Amino acid sequence: MGVPPVTVEVVEREFGELALNMGPQHPSTHGVLRLVLHLSGETVVRAKPSIGYLHRGVEKLSEHLAYDQLAPVYERNDYLSPTANSLAYCLAVERLASIEVPRRGRFMRAFVAEWQRIASHLVWLGTLGLDLGGALGGGTTLYMYCFREREKILDFLEALTGTRFHTNVNMIGGCRYDLDAATAAWSERLAAAVEAALPELHAMSGDTPIFRERTRGVGVIPPDLALAVGVTGPTLRGSGIAHDVRKDAPYDAYGELPLSVPSRSAGDAEARFQVRIEEIRASLSLVRAIVAGLPAGPIFSRKPIKNPKATKVPAGEVYAAVESPRGELGMHLVSEGGPKPYRLKIRAPSFCNLQVVEYLLPGGLVADVVAILGSLDPVMGDVDR
Amino acid sequence: MDPLKVVEQPPAGSRLEDVAEEVVRFPGGGIALLRTEALFQWAQSSSLWPLTFGLACCAIEMMAAFAGRFDLDRFGVILRPTPRQADVMIIAGTVTIKMAPRIRTLYDQMAHPKWVISMGSCANSGDHYRNVYSVVPGVDHVIPVDVYVAGCPPTPEALMEGIFELQRKIRKGSRAGA
Amino acid sequence: MPAPEVVAALATRFAAAPFPLGVSVARESLVEAARVLRDHHGYRYYLLGTATERADAIEVLHAVRHPATLDTLFLKTALPKDDPTVDSLVLVWSGADWNEREIYDLFGVRFRGHPDLRRILLPDEYEGHPLRKDFPMDAPWGFRP
């Protein structure tokens, strides 16, 4: 089969439609997403997304590795908040095998997850600046400022765990890294620094008239469509439905922490932007609450693992979900009693959120395509697995 | 938070004085005497323009390398979105069978001289996905690679060192592809 | 744990067998059970679609949720391996679209009535369905540059 070229092909039909291929290599598609847009002038008539350019067969790989070996593999799925994936997996195995996680371990897992949520939202905001402002047209300023804040967070994670973002903190039965007094003080200073930078970031984005014009009324998702398609996360909360797995089905330490779930009812890109900005603030107060209320005790409840292939999980089926920065990230684990999972299905939030693109893009302009994709915040590693 | 002072001096061997036979500077300018090959190598290595080609997680570290802290712009490295304007292609992420023909097309669309940096374990060898049915174990099955940067993901400092390695390779006379 | 009264209602009406995550119905009554679940019981929120290959059958599962009570129910149906076809639920929940394409891509299950049943994660010309148990993990990928 011939290789489809990355070019513009003019399709002469009665209505004079132009079929424009956007991606899979494109600066604004958030990874390897391919959109075939049918345009009539500047208006999008039809949009067909094509995915699978990063399909790494993680679900098949799960059937060939032992339970204890698998948590780091999933961190590469949604690579902007890696611990969310491994946390969902650890929760699923712990529920099926009835493994109790000690209280301090639960708080530590939530701690790293919230810091990664803030880091992920900073990447989203920075790339939104690139999308809406252009790489050489002023959007790069927002990108540089967001990544400056993110570098502070990554430095902190490197001091805590040893690596910048594939931190490998979650284990079946608890957490791998612990917080001491110096790191806790560093976390407090960091939270203050990020919170002080937020008004400046908001002034560069949401307060500017160009940003408002490009996001207000763009990409409105009606709540019924959102529920029927299965949209989750800030995308759903921007349409007025305030679902959040941390509040609806609390896991780890979230049942004991003061959690606020921001939501807006407009359903457009600006609403989703505002929801995510408020989520950064909510996550900052969560990390402060975790450091203040961190209980004493162990962080890992099992004996040291000498042979990862010796862990066996009883037969059964379980579904466990966490709230990743993109939405509900779930793992449906089927076990037949052996040392390896029998079947593991990852419910990827970006996969379900991206389906709604087919309904949102028609009727809008070409320039709105980039704004809508940016406001949905898909991560292709999560979509394709 | 102090910015990390990674590189304070220009990379060794990258100044005009290092590549030219003789340089005389006077107020308002200067004269340099050097072979044309050395001149072209110095120019090309000092302004490598990569194609934005992030596939997976390594793309995020590549974006961090281009951001303010590690700042590759001071080495003449600017990201270009189209292969026609790019010298070097940084493959950052896992190469799948669906993506591989597109990588080949983009590589063919780049104009000579062109180089390839394979960033991260997935592009080097497939990492832990190397046995999966849909993954190409290493991008060197598709295109010739000049520099391999190891890591999962490599830190931005490692990517910078990989770019310096490519610059050294160009100054020694590599035109394109290994 | 799914709501017991919904499980009981489906059990009596469709002879559905309960399992820990939801109910299992026969494949002929899948669409009707889905419609009853959405319209009568209010499970309008589609969560995920997946398949599991067992020793003698392929199970297709759809997980749905009630937006108000937040109860999650898995609707399962078992298909024989020599005839893995089942009705598509796209007209009941739009979110089933891509999920069913993924199940077709990775398991080979055909969905009757799906508007655009083609591969989604693998190239269109790929042969074989990788998540089947008899498909080796390191199958030759047959790539030609």
Q: C38, C66 in Cβ contact below 8 A? A: no
Residue B6 has pLDDT above 70, yes or no: no
Helix (H) or strand (E) holding A328: strand A327-335
CA distance A278 to A266: 15
The β-bridge relationship of strands B50-51 and C110-112 is unpaired
Is A59 among the domain residues? no
Tokens for C126? 């790929």
**If pLDDT is split at 50, 70 and 90, which confidence band does C138 have?**
low
Is A299 among the domain residues? yes
CA distance A58 to A62: 6
Is A326 among the domain residues? no
Per-residue pLDDT tens listing for chain A (385 residues):
444 444 445 444 555 778 888 878 777 667 788 888 888 888 888 888 889 899 988 998 888 888 888 888 898 888 899 999 999 999 999 998 888 899 999 999 999 999 999 999 999 998 888 888 766 666 788 888 999 999 999 999 999 998 888 888 988 888 888 888 899 999 999 999 999 999 988 888 878 888 888 888 888 999 988 888 889 999 999 888 888 889 888 888 888 888 888 888 888 888 999 999 999 999 999 999 999 888 888 888 888 778 877 788 888 899 999 999 999 999 999 998 888 899 999 999 999 889 998 888 888 888 888 889 888 888 988 898 8
pLDDT value of position B171: 87
Q: Provide the shortest C-alpha distance from residue B71 to chain A (in Å).
A: 10
Contacts for A213 with CB less than 8 Å, ≥ 6 apart: none
* Mean pLDDT of the C93-97 span: 88
Tens of pLDDT, residues C52-92: 988 888 999 999 988 888 888 898 898 888 888 898 888 88
Q: Which residue among B98, B132, B136 sits closest to C137, beta carbon to beta carbon?
A: B132
Of the candidates A255, A263, A238, A186, the one whose C-alpha atom is nearest the C-alpha of residue A360 is A238
Number of domains in chain A: 2
Q: A256 and A170 in one domain?
A: yes
User: How many Cα atoms sit within 13 Å of B105 on the Cβ side?
Assistant: 15
**If pLDDT is split at 50, 70 and 90, which confidence band does C141 have?**
low
Contacts for A317 with CB less than 8 Å, ≥ 6 apart: A96, A332, A333, A334, A335, C19, C20, C21
pLDDT value of position A332: 92
A82 vs B contacts (CB less than 8 Å):
57
Q: A155 and A18 in one domain?
A: no
The β-bridge relationship of strands A174-175 and C110-112 is unpaired
- Cα four-point dihedral sign C120, C125, C126, C131: positive
- Asked if C125's CB is within 8 angstroms of A225's CB, the reply is no
Q: Provide the shortest C-alpha distance from residue A312 to chain B (in Å).
A: 22
pLDDT value of position B175: 66
Chain-centroid distance of CA A264 in Å reads 19
pLDDT value of position A283: 92
Q: CA C52 → CA A92, A245, C112, distances in Å? A: 17, 25, 19
The Cβ of residue B74 has, within 10 Å, a number of other Cβ atoms equal to 9
Is A318 among the domain residues? no
pLDDT value of position A385: 85
Beta-sheet strands, E only, within B114-172:
115-119, 147-149
Tokens for C133? 């148990």
Tokens for B114? 């062109």
Q: A271 and A174 in one domain?
A: yes
Chain C nearest-CA residue for B107: C145
Q: A259 and A150 in one domain?
A: yes
- Asked if A56's CB is within 8 angstroms of B129's CB, the reply is yes
Q: Provide the shortest C-alpha distance from residue A97 to chain C (in Å).
A: 15
Of the candidates A318, A329, A184, A142, the one whose C-alpha atom is nearest the C-alpha of residue A244 is A329
- A124 close contact with B: CB closer than 8 A: no
Using DSSP's 3-state secondary structure scheme, residue C85 falls into strand
Q: CA B139 → CA B6, B97, B104, B142, distances in Å? A: 29, 11, 10, 5
Q: A121 and A41 in one domain?
A: no
List the 141-200 stretch of A: residues with Cβ below 8 A of B. 143-145, 147-148, 150-152, 154-155, 164-166, 193
Q: Provide the shortest C-alpha distance from residue B70 to chain C (in Å).
A: 35
- Asked if B99's CB is within 8 angstroms of A24's CB, the reply is yes
Using DSSP's 3-state secondary structure scheme, residue A105 falls into helix
C118 vs B contacts (CB less than 8 Å):
none
CATH number of the domain that residue A147 is part of: 1.10.645.10
Is A114 among the domain residues? yes
Q: A104 and A43 in one domain?
A: no
pLDDT value of position A110: 92
Q: B145, B175 in Cβ contact below 8 A? A: no
Is A87 among the domain residues? no
Q: A123 and A253 in one domain?
A: yes
Percent of chain C whose predicted confidence (pLDDT) is above 70: 94
Q: A44 and A116 in one domain?
A: no
Could you identify the residue written with the tokens 């011939």?
A2
Q: A261 and A142 in one domain?
A: yes
* Average confidence score pLDDT of chain B: 85
Contacts for A65 with CB less than 8 Å, ≥ 6 apart: A73, A340
Is A89 among the domain residues? no
Q: A107 and A22 in one domain?
A: no
The β-bridge relationship of strands B115-119 and B88-92 is parallel
Beta bridge mates, A343: A334
Residue B166 has pLDDT above 60, yes or no: yes
B131 vs C contacts (CB less than 8 Å):
137-138
Q: A114 and A17 in one domain?
A: no
Tokens for A163? 């690596």
Q: Which residue among C135, C138, C143 sits closest to B97, beta carbon to beta carbon?
A: C143
- Asked if C46's CB is within 8 angstroms of A227's CB, the reply is yes
Q: Which residue among C21, C45, C120 sits closest to A317, beta carbon to beta carbon?
A: C21
Tens of pLDDT, residues B24-40: 989 998 898 988 888 88
**If pLDDT is split at 50, 70 and 90, which confidence band does B12 have?**
confident
* Mean pLDDT of the C33-50 span: 88
CA distance A326 to A322: 10
Determine the structural domain holding residue A114 and report its residue range. 100-304+350-384
| DSSP state letters, A108-177 | HHHHHHHHHHHHHHHHHHHHHHHHHH-TTTTHHHHHHHHHHHHHHHHHHHHHHHSSSS----EETTEES-
pLDDT value of position C144: 37
Using DSSP's 3-state secondary structure scheme, residue B51 falls into strand
Beta-sheet strands, E only, within chain C:
17-19, 22-25, 45-53, 57-65, 72-80, 85-87, 110-112
Q: Provide the shortest C-alpha distance from residue A60 to chain C (in Å).
A: 6
Q: A196 and A263 in one domain?
A: yes
- Cα four-point dihedral sign A362, A364, A369, A375: negative
CA distance A303 to A321: 26
* Mean pLDDT of the B88-112 span: 90
Is A244 among the domain residues? yes
pLDDT value of position A215: 87
